[in-house]
Amino acid sequence: MFQVQYISSHWRRISIFPVNMFNPWLALLLASSSAAAQQIPLSFQATNSEWTVFHHPIKSVAVIGAGPAGLQAAAKLIEHNFTVRLFDRAPSPGGNWFYTDETPVREPYPDKPFDEKPYIPENLPATHYYEDGEEGLSLEDRWKEHWQPRPVWDSLHTNSPAVITELPDVPYSADKPWVLSNHDIQRHVRAYASFHNLNANDYPTNSRHAPVTSYSTRVEELLKIESTQTWRLTLRKLERLSETNRIKAQWWTEDFDAVVIATGPYVSPHVPDIAGLLEWSKVKDGDQYSVYHSQSYRRPERYQNKTILVVGSSVSASEISRDIAPYASNIIASIRPHEDLHPFKLRSLLRFPSVTAFVPEIDHFEPLAAQDKGIKDGAIHLINGSVLRGIDEVILATGYIHSNIFLPNFTSDGQPANLHWTGHYIPDPTLAYTNVRPWTIGKYQSYAFAKVWEGTAHLPTQKQMREDYDNGKYHFRGLFASAPAEALFRQYVAWLNNESLINGGRFVEPWPLEKREVFVYYSDVEWIKGYTSLANFTDFEVLPSREWNSDKAAWEAMVYEDLQW
């Protein structure tokens, strides 16, 4: 009844269809089920010249980071029978959304070199018991330095609608609003982790397997071992021993065939390089610093009757200003003008509370006489020559940098670089990066990781990936529900399904149309009126240029800028 057609003698591209009854979808399904069950018997010789071939079969994978990206990757890789280990420096899953009242250790002034290596004992495994005050660090600070409490505040709500801020398997109830609180999100991510047995207290029901997760475990180093072509992770786990008032630290290594880096898009706070800021950063008013980064912001009450200078004009700046507006006596925002306003920036500017006084960029902070009497008497010189006085506190809402300790060439200009559009690292595709922009892309990305590493999807040759990358053809980016992004997204789905057709595996469905519609409505209402329009969501084949030009640019920019969610 079936006929196997060899379209090409050197490529395993086949189509299987019922004679006289051609039905491509039936063919897809048939190909998928037969391929999953057994290897398709083909007289086919694989050669390295057509796609990337790995040194040895990929069996074990380390996932670094248990946020929305790492959890999805770990769950999918487990489903595909890889031996998975999931590491996170935090004591619980959630990533950015593991909210606590604890604030992070104060940000360094100026920024720390982004490739600064942590201390690793010479002989591993190693154990050490930290006492309070050792090396000038309290146990509290040592604990926080290790896991880095998150940069979210109590009242924070998403600036992305629920339809794109949702994980698979644990859908929100139908009556959930489109904009969710950070607490809702935290529960949602935890539910996903629990659903997949990836929560902090989840031990395998089958004791033959080692536990998958290791929380409070920071990856300190990542090395490729040349002889075995495997990745060696150096790990450090901290444990609080409250009975003896000490912290137990353990260092050890584990080796893997492949690694997913899901350490998040916002790894370290960024403080700007402004003259005099270093001195001002040391100033305290009582026991509190007068200048700090927005990562430490939690609640508005203590801003009662204060004059606050917020530096920055992006989301943290506008949203924190809104939060403190009912309390503060004055809010001043120092912003840099931009000729071409990115829609996200425009949205933020529009969302500053109406009481905000906007001033230009800061030129320098004038030296202060004392370091323990606050900054109220200090002078802040703006680039237009004006001087600000009487400021009680400065909040630096100046963003984050993607510091990366792992690989020398993994980041460029603070952003991950050299990635194939699937997320695989071009120089060595046994490594992959994901930061799920938006979250709903994670399902496809993690499936692509599993398929490539199990051999049911092929990456092009390195030469081809490099060429594509250099041509900007398939730059790694978040895939979004707007026309050009949808075109890319369709290519993604088509690629996955084409690979399944050829090499086996399940098929995936594109993102549901009704969710895309909700996203469009949300964008129009929440961002800028007319920002997106359904009419403009039909032109899938046209990929507009990266040029920024007024009206049209609004919806294009959502796609082509590195999305600043």
Ligand X SMILES: Cc1cc2nc3c(=O)[nH]c(=O)nc-3n(C[C@H](O)[C@H](O)[C@H](O)COP(=O)(O)OP(=O)(O)OC[C@H]3O[C@@H](n4cnc5c(N)ncnc54)[C@H](O)[C@@H]3O)c2cc1C
Q: From the list ligand NAP, ligand X, ligand NAG, none, pick the one residue 319 interacts with, judged by a Cβ distance below 5 to 8 Å according to partner type.
A: ligand NAP
The rounded distance, in Å, linking the Cα atoms of 519 and 324 is 29
| DSSP secondary structure of 55-67 | SS---EEEEE--S
The rounded distance, in Å, linking the Cα atoms of 130 and 116 is 22
The rounded distance, in Å, linking the Cα atoms of 391 and 375 is 7
Q: From the list ligand NAG, ligand NAP, ligand X, none, pick the one residue 385 interacts with, judged by a Cβ distance below 5 to 8 Å according to partner type.
A: ligand NAG
The rounded distance, in Å, linking the Cα atoms of 462 and 474 is 14
HEC string for 437-499: CCHHHHHHHHHHHHHHHHCCCCCCCHHHHHHHHHCCCCCCCCCCCCHHHHHHHHHHHHHHHHH
Q: Does 312 bind ligand X (CB under 6 A)?
A: no
Beta pairing class for 2-6 and 14-18: antiparallel
Pick from 91, 110, 168, 272 the residue near ligand NAP by CB under 6 A.
Answer: 272
Binding mask 480-519 for ligand NAG (x = CB under 6 A): --------------xx--x---x-----------------
The rounded distance, in Å, linking the Cα atoms of 334 and 58 is 51
- Structural contact between residues 242 and 231, judged by C-beta atoms closer than 8 angstroms: no
Torsion of CA 237, 95, 79, 52, to 10 degrees: -90
Beta-carbon count within 10 A of 462 CB: 15
> Could you tell me which stretch among 100-108, 275-283, 315-323, 367-375 binds ligand NAP (CB under 6 A)?
315-323
Q: Does 94 bind ligand NAP (CB under 6 A)?
A: no
- Structural contact between residues 145 and 105, judged by C-beta atoms closer than 8 angstroms: yes
Beta-carbon count within 10 A of 428 CB: 19
> Could you tell me which stretch among 126-134, 135-143, 153-161, 498-506 binds ligand NAP (CB under 6 A)?
153-161
Cβ of residue 524: shortest distance to ligand NAG, in angstroms? 8
Binding mask 225-264 for ligand X (x = CB under 6 A): -------------------------------------xxx
- Structural contact between residues 326 and 355, judged by C-beta atoms closer than 8 angstroms: no
Pick from 70, 104, 149, 269 the residue near ligand X by CB under 6 A.
Answer: 70
Q: From the list ligand X, ligand NAG, ligand NAP, none, pick the one residue 13 interacts with, judged by a Cβ distance below 5 to 8 Å according to partner type.
A: ligand NAG
Q: Does 265 bind ligand X (CB under 6 A)?
A: yes
Residue closer to ligand X (CB basis): 159 or 230: 159
Q: Does 412 bind ligand NAG (CB under 6 A)?
A: no
Number of residues that bind ligand NAP (CB under 6 A): 26
Pick from 159, 307, 418, 440 the residue near ligand NAP by CB under 6 A.
Answer: 159
Q: Does 107 bind ligand X (CB under 6 A)?
A: no
Q: Does 161 bind ligand X (CB under 6 A)?
A: no
* Collapsed DSSP state (helix, strand, coil) of residue 241: strand
Q: Locate 299 and state its tokens.
A: 């609640």
Cβ of residue 377: shortest distance to ligand NAP, in angstroms? 23
* Collapsed DSSP state (helix, strand, coil) of residue 339: coil
> Could you tell me which stretch among 79-87, 111-119, 149-157, 307-315 binds ligand NAG (CB under 6 A)?
79-87
Q: Does 336 bind ligand NAP (CB under 6 A)?
A: yes
**AA letter at 304:** Q
Q: Residue 251: which residues within 8 A CB-CB, separation 6 or more?
A: 120, 121, 124, 125, 126, 127, 220, 234, 235, 236
Residue closer to ligand NAP (CB basis): 247 or 315: 315
Binding mask 280-309 for ligand NAP (x = CB under 6 A): --------------x---------------
Binding interface with ligand NAP (CB under 6 A): 156-159, 266, 272, 274, 294, 311-317, 319, 334, 336, 345, 361, 397-400, 564-565
Binding interface with ligand NAG (CB under 6 A): 11, 13, 79-81, 304-305, 359-360, 382, 384-386, 408-409, 427, 494-495, 498, 502, 530, 533, 535-536, 551-552, 555
